[in-house]
Amino acid sequence: MTRERPALAAARVLAAAAIALAWILPFVGIVMGSLRPYGEIVNGWWRTEELHLSLENYAFVLGGTSIPMLRALWNSFFSSILGAAFPALFGSMAAYALARHWIPLKGPTIAVLLSLMAIPGQMIAIPAFKLLNSLGLLDRFASVILMNTVTALPWIIFFMLNVIKGQDLNIEEAAKIDGASDYWIYARVVMPQSYPSLLSVGILQFVWSWDSFFWPLVCLFDVRKLMATQVVPMLRGQFIQNWGALCAASVLVVSVPVILFVAFQKYYIAGSVGFISDK
């Protein structure tokens, strides 16, 4: 391509930097709000005539209120691990069978799964709530883990189906000739090959479970069982416009997905692009 004028290139860099700055500013504000005393931020966190930083707000929301966040963060953490592991396991198993085995009505089944991906959560909320109630699962972590699992299964099956179909059949056939069972082929041949995709699925689904709010709100009531996302609006109800507490709680809830994203950026992006487009 032709060489560009340096002025144009510089303008481009400036524009990109300005966009990035604009996008990150609300985060900066929340972090500042969480670190500074109320009096310093009510008239704008960007004013720095006085600047005192402390972690008091964090200590307060983690353990100082009637709904301590420390416990909620732990609840969210292990529920999200399970809420990602179950659909990744069941979804990849189903995807393997759909890709490699004969199944009656395979085409229609895949079509149904595909349309279920687009079903709004509201459309299943009431009957699923009644089901969970009659199964005695309300106010148990199992309810949220279960709902995060089932709502994730369609996209994970679909995602993994495309991944597995793209894999080389020869290794699997060689294993079959050597007398390997389907279970062995799934666990030792197919899954190791699709490990990067499985990681994408797991990380994306962990973040979605972590961020989910509707199912926890509907299913969990006991203050000791609340998820982190549930505590945020509760703090808002209790300490209306106590910016320090609200900002600290927000930073805590966001920090886990952000840390995961930074650590596994490549996989995260691959997942979020892959599950809706052909990449």
Exactly one of 6, 107, 179, 192 binds other proteins (CB under 8 A); which one? 107
d(CA 68, CA 248): 13
Asked whether the beta carbons of 236 and 246 are under 8 A apart, the reply is: yes
| 94 touches other proteins (CB under 8 A) | yes
Site for other proteins in 142-201 (CB under 8 A): 146-147, 149-151, 153-154, 157-159, 161-162, 164-167, 169, 173, 176-177, 181-183, 186
Site for other proteins in 195-224 (CB under 8 A): 207, 210-214, 217-218
Exactly one of 82, 225, 253, 264 binds other proteins (CB under 8 A); which one? 253
Site for other proteins in 111-140 (CB under 8 A): 111-129, 131
Nearer to other proteins, 16 or 59 (CB): 16
Site for other proteins in 29-88 (CB under 8 A): 29-30, 33, 41-46
Exactly one of 80, 226, 246, 267 binds other proteins (CB under 8 A); which one? 246
Give 202-221 as a 3 state SS string: HHHHHHHHHHCCHHHHHHCC
CA dihedral 123, 222, 255, 28 (to 10 degrees): 90
Secondary structure of residue 227 in the 3-state scheme? coil
Candidate ranges 53-61, 62-70, 194-202, 259-267; the one touching other proteins (CB under 8 A): 259-267
The CB density around residue 12, as the number of other CB atoms within 10 Å, is 11
Exactly one of 5, 6, 7, 102 binds other proteins (CB under 8 A); which one? 102
Q: How many CA atoms lie within 13 A of 250 on its CB side?
A: 18
Asked whether the beta carbons of 249 and 32 are under 8 A apart, the reply is: no
Exactly one of 31, 110, 142, 180 binds other proteins (CB under 8 A); which one? 110
Asked whether the beta carbons of 72 and 217 are under 8 A apart, the reply is: no
